[in-house]
Amino acid sequence: MASLIGSPLLRIRVFPEVTLLKPTRLSFVRFRRGGSLVKAASAAPTFDGDVRVRFAPSPTGNLHVGGARTALFNYLFARSKGGKFVLRIEDTDLERSTKQSEEALLHDLSWLGLDWDEGPGVGGEYGPYRQSERNSMYKEYAEKLLNSGLAYRCFCSNEELEQMKEIANLKKLPPVYTGKWATATEEEAQDELAKGTPYTYRFRVPKEGTVKINDLIRGEVSWNLDTLGDFVILRSNGQPVYNFCVTVDDATMRISHVIRAEEHLPNTLRQALIYKALGFSMPQFAHVSLILAPDRSKLSKRHGATSVGQFKEMGYLPQAMVNYLALLGWGDGTENEFFTMEQLVEKFSIERVNKSGAVFDSAKLRWMNGQHLKAIPQDQLTKVIGEHWKSNGILFESEGMFVKEVVDLLKDGIELIPDSDTALLNLLSYPLHNTLASAEGRPLVEDKLSEVAASLLSAYDSGEFHKALEEGHAGWQQWVKSFGKSLKRKGKSLFMPLRVLLTGKFHGPDMGMAMHVLREAGLCGIITPQAGFVTLDERFKIMREVDWEALNRDSKAESVAVASSH
């Protein structure tokens, strides 16, 4: 029977029926309380049982990318060790917790592919998995601490507590509890109970000593107990305080490793004391650094999208989100940045998680999404983008030869699925007049662009241009070569005028493929009217109506104006 922290006047009993984890090998730190020697675990255990980790979000809002990364690290650790990934909903904040938020959390985790082995919707041996359904258990363990003298009833009013804080502040001391109920007699407590005075349960904290843990990421972390004071574990309304119910939950659910954000590091002191007092074996802790904004402040809504749901709506792929989140504070020691979930499970280790904060780079995430898009099998990518175009009213149909060919043409310029809208609409448009009138178009106009346009119209009228397209890639290449030869142009002096005249733009995908796709678009009737599609025939009509003399005059006048201004 182990000796536990408590009143020196009481014989402390251990409750073997609640020691659910395998015993740990404990080192001890000595504490003195009222002159008597007591012991507490220094929380540097080894765990010999199965690996069991948990992600325990509060359903009070959307799943933040920081929470998603914590869930991912837990998931990868469990899968890499052949262990269990447990999902627990911490909904004791009754005012802010909502069913809608819980459903959104579950949906976001499922979308990321972080399937849990135990938890809501799955069940398990150690449920229930919502804290709001575990109140009777918290009450039971609070009573055990009370009966053993390791906790006591505190009848202090809010006014009394505030007065203690003010006095401590004036004396420049930590705001620790100094009320009489720490040493009150049973008779005094019974008098208040008879009056119906509201009370909380407070945990007895040793006045001296140190608690240490060996954090798997941060190494040894220690706290002095003289700054803590007796803390509340059960509120006057019967609701448990966070540190108490989390400790009870983790212990009774046999959690072996607690991987969580560094914000929870200060909570570990209170939890370590509760573990020891209840005779529970300590899990191993690993506190992950925060995700930072580019200015190295804590990432928040003012920096843009921060929730998983927002990134999903923006068109990000779950596999890209998982890959990027894994690299926020972890790496496999190589230059490789592209990982599938299977590869992450194979390579992940908690020892390679960094202590320093990781900066969330939206541009890097976008790039990574593009890499994962390129890795999707062509048929799957065509299906996803085709359905997107149809749902957005650009196409009448989501599949077919045209969709397959245009996706193949545009995919290298797409980093997010919604980018495909811009890419396709850009391909279908023909802003020739605006391009020719622009400052960038002026040198092109002055380089006898009208002569290229005249030759191109001649090729169109003779049927030579359409014949080249009908003969496919080889036919197109042969025609372009012949066309350039007739104009004594090659390279950029040939291809830039051709691109501008045929597409109305200075930049774009492969011109031969683009012409082929535009020809197909005009034949298959798959483009909706609102897409603003200008067919090849319409393009040549617009080209024919260009007033080259006026363009040349305007260009020369602009050149003179620019010269005179210098």
Cα atoms in the 13 Å half-sphere on the side-chain side of 229:
16
Helix (H, G, I), strand (E, B) or coil at 33: strand
Considering 165, 180, 298, 301, which one is annotated as catalytic? 301
Alpha carbon of residue 521 to chain centroid? 39
Instruction: Give the integer Cα–Cα distance in Å for 414 and 420.
Output: 6
Contacts of 294 (CB under 8 A, 6+ apart): 303, 359, 360, 361
Looking up tokens 């010999």, which residue turns up?
Answer: 48
Instruction: Give the integer Cα–Cα distance in Å for 188 and 154.
Output: 11
* Cβ atoms of 501 and 456 closer than 8 Å: yes
Pairing of strands 36-41, 52-55: unpaired
Instruction: Give the integer Cα–Cα distance in Å for 517 and 500.
Output: 17
Q: Is 492 left (phi over 0), alpha (psi -120 to 50) or beta?
A: alpha
How many other C-beta atoms can be found within 10 angstroms of the C-beta atom of residue 292?
A: 18
Spell out the SS3 assignment of 226-288. Answer: HHCCCEEEECCCCCECHHHHHHHHHHHCCCCEEEEEHHHCCHHHHHHHHHHHCCCCCCEEEEE
Instruction: Give the integer Cα–Cα distance in Å for 111 and 104.
Output: 10
Identify which of 98, 251, 183 has the alpha carbon closest to the alpha carbon of residue 243.
251
Whether 301 is catalytic is yes
Quote the Cα angle for 151-7-251, to 5°: 45
How many other C-beta atoms can be found within 10 angstroms of the C-beta atom of residue 486?
A: 10
Identity at 332, one-letter amino acid code: D
Instruction: Give the integer Cα–Cα distance in Å for 363 and 156.
Output: 54
| Active-site residue list | 301
